[in-house]
Structure 1
Amino acid sequence: MNEALDRAADLIAGADALLVCAGAGMGVDSGLPDFRGATGFWQAYPPYARLGLRFEELADPVHFVDDPTLAWGFYGHRLDLYRRTVPHDGFRVLREWGARVFTSNVDGQFQRAGFADVAEVHGSIHHLQCVEPCTDDVWPADDVVLDVEPESMRATGPLPACRNCGGLARPNILMFGDWSWVAGPSQEQLDALTQWRRGRRDLVVIEIGAGNAVPTVRRQAELASAASGALIRVNPREPEVRHGRGVSLPMGALDAITELARRIG
């Protein structure tokens, strides 16, 4: 492990640029659930265990049409949770290293930690769009405050409305089987990241907390590091790198970043 940490620290210290590719494991040390499997999801949300509902079933845009109080109960609770969560110190270290970010997380923790350039491939819970959608408009969810009944996990009171047509609004998040997601803001971020990458030599990629179940982040990390093999994979459960092209760190996010920072000095 010490040898791997030393190799990773040397890569970071000699990098011309750093790209962080982050999955749900990045937020675990801040107290956020990673929704790993039905059991992990139900541990985070016991009411859904009683209802027998899995994450994949709830994160389906059909509920915003068929059962909007159930849909907004789930996303309203998450929105409140993410607003109250303080990013762990690893975020500060990565920002001080000048890293750019690609993430599948929708929680906005990188922005809260002070990052300006974040590519959110699945959108953000902190923005809204029309359920239909009536337009491609996306706007901040700053004024959205929902009461959620804890036993049923349903939202009570008025639900967020589209600022254009007055119909129901939903989070600007890519859900399962989602044909209505307004992808424009996310695509703009991804295009900006691609342009940035083209102008960087000696790019080092630090992949943190991204598993195989939804491989979007892993694919991006492997693609971005393909030319150099300068990939640092931080994952306590699935740390292996293919064909030895990279450094494997079977650790949690905060522990790994802290150890790397200590070695870099």
Structure 2
Amino acid sequence: GGPAFGWSFWKNCIDSYRNTSPHDGYHILAKWSKMIEDKYSSISLEKLNEEEDEPPKEVFFVYTSNIDGHFTRVPTFQDRVVECHGSTLFLQCQNDYGVDCTQGNKTWALPQDGLSNLTVDPKTHLVSGKFPLCPGTCNMVARPDVLMFGDFKWVGQRTSNQEDKFYHWKDGVDRLASGKYIVTRKEDEEQKGEDEKNKKKEAVPFRPTAYFPEDSDEEDVDTDITKGVVVEIGAGTTIPTVRHQAERFCEMTGATLIRINVHDSHPPYADTGSFWKKKTEIETQYECLSLPLGALEALSVLDWLIEKEREGLVIDDEETEKIEKEEGAEK
């Protein structure tokens, strides 16, 4: 046991994570994020009440239980991610009981060559060499900043800071969904050159439950320009942290849920009160698209469909088959 055993496990994990590049699915998500930002920049948000907080500046956020740090390796997501279980790319003090350390509640980055001095014995599977040490007054062997089961010594400083930004953004999205702002297209404002009163009459609300300006026709209003979507990828039911976060967000904002999971792509289940009772799907206030596919496969399919729609093509089963034959595209 001890550090030689623990760091044998973590060295294998960290080396594997660092030697694996984020797959193309991460870059597809980054591309979509840029598309959403461009669309968001084409509108103006005006507060209905001057005392209301400002609308959110960010249009997307990542909430992940992955500890591999891959999202932070994609520049688009570096400052807009919550790693709710921590990250192997950061270290913390062991926080042993009875030991007062100046780094006891802090985390620090694991150097790129931080584990290069550790060697794993193929027979005992124990490591030897220079272990990463806490730079604080305790000078003990450090540990990854990762939340384990029953882990009362996890610092989680980075995660707390990330969550502060996330929940601030989430509150802003909730205000949008609650109709706290009037949404107008900048293009319309520039072309029509209308005064503030007329702009309000031409305003586009955030979504059907939001504020509708006087004289507006709800059926004729295009709400797609600001409607939200949650892309949930691989969030299972055993540890449903991310799954529940996605469902609560959709309930709060009316965003569409795209659930990508090979085995657990089903819509939200009702709480039957018993583990043994057969669970039943519940009727939600938001749309849910279930895709029983792997992450990269599902994202590639959706990206292909988005590109075809942007080209002005109406996609149905017959049209999809025709395009695939002509272009050799893969669904």
Both proteins in one fold, TM over 0.5:
yes
Is 2:23 the partner of 1:88?
yes
- Secondary structure of residue in 2 paired with 1:127: strand
Aligned pairs for 1:213-232 (under 5 A) are: 213-227=238-252, 228=254, 230-232=256-258
- Secondary structure of residue in 1 paired with 2:251: coil
For residues 283 and 145 of structure 2, the distance between their equivalents in structure 1, rounded to whole angstroms, comes to: 37
Is 2:153 the partner of 1:111?
no
The alignment yields a C-alpha RMSD, in angstroms, of 1.5
* Of 244, 267, 292, the match for 1:250: 292
- 1:69 matched residue in structure 2: 4
For residues 256 and 150 of structure 1, the distance between their equivalents in structure 2, rounded to whole angstroms, comes to: 39
One-letter code of the match for 2:22? P
Q: CA deviation at 1:147?
A: 2.2
One-letter code of the match for 1:189? Q
* Of 155, 168, 171, the match for 2:127: 155
- 1:203 matched residue in structure 2: 228
- Secondary structure of residue in 2 paired with 1:226: helix
Is 2:236 the partner of 1:263?
no
For residues 124 and 170 of structure 2, the distance between their equivalents in structure 1, rounded to whole angstroms, comes to: 46
One-letter code of the match for 1:108? G
Count of residue pairs the alignment pairs up: 200
Is 2:144 the partner of 1:144?
no
- Secondary structure of residue in 1 paired with 2:105: coil
Q: CA deviation at 1:203?
A: 2.4
- Secondary structure of residue in 2 paired with 1:105: coil
For residues 18 and 94 of structure 2, the distance between their equivalents in structure 1, rounded to whole angstroms, comes to: 23
One-letter code of the match for 2:144? P
* Of 137, 145, 148, the match for 1:172: 145
For residues 147 and 113 of structure 1, the distance between their equivalents in structure 2, rounded to whole angstroms, comes to: 30
* Of 259, 266, 273, the match for 1:240: 266
Contact 2:228–2:255 at 8 Å: present in 1 too?
A: no
Instruction: Name the TM-score, length of structure 1 as normaliser.
Output: 0.72
- Identity level (%): 41
Q: CA deviation at 1:244?
A: 5.1
Please list the CA deviations of residues 28-84 of structure 1 after superposition, one character each: whole Å capped at 9, or x if unmatched. Answer: xxxxxxxxxxxxxxxxxxxxxxxxxxxxxxxxxxxxxx5211111001111111110
- 1:21 matched residue in structure 2: none
For residues 259 and 237 of structure 1, the distance between their equivalents in structure 2, rounded to whole angstroms, comes to: 18
For residues 155 and 106 of structure 1, the distance between their equivalents in structure 2, rounded to whole angstroms, comes to: 22
Q: CA deviation at 1:229?
A: 5.2
- 1:184 matched residue in structure 2: 157
Any unmatched runs of 5+ in structure 1?
1-65
For residues 137 and 92 of structure 1, the distance between their equivalents in structure 2, rounded to whole angstroms, comes to: 31
- 1:53 matched residue in structure 2: none
For residues 112 and 78 of structure 1, the distance between their equivalents in structure 2, rounded to whole angstroms, comes to: 17
Instruction: Name the TM-score, length of structure 2 as normaliser.
Output: 0.58
- Secondary structure of residue in 2 paired with 1:254: helix
For residues 124 and 157 of structure 1, the distance between their equivalents in structure 2, rounded to whole angstroms, comes to: 23
Please list the CA deviations of residues 141-192 of structure 1 after superposition, one character each: whole Å capped at 9, or x if unmatched. Answer: 1141132223433221121110113111000000111010002210110111
- Secondary structure of residue in 1 paired with 2:154: coil
- 2:273 matched residue in structure 1: none
Is 2:149 the partner of 1:123?
no
Residues 178, 217 of structure 1: alpha-carbon distance in 2 compared, 3 angstrom cutoff: same
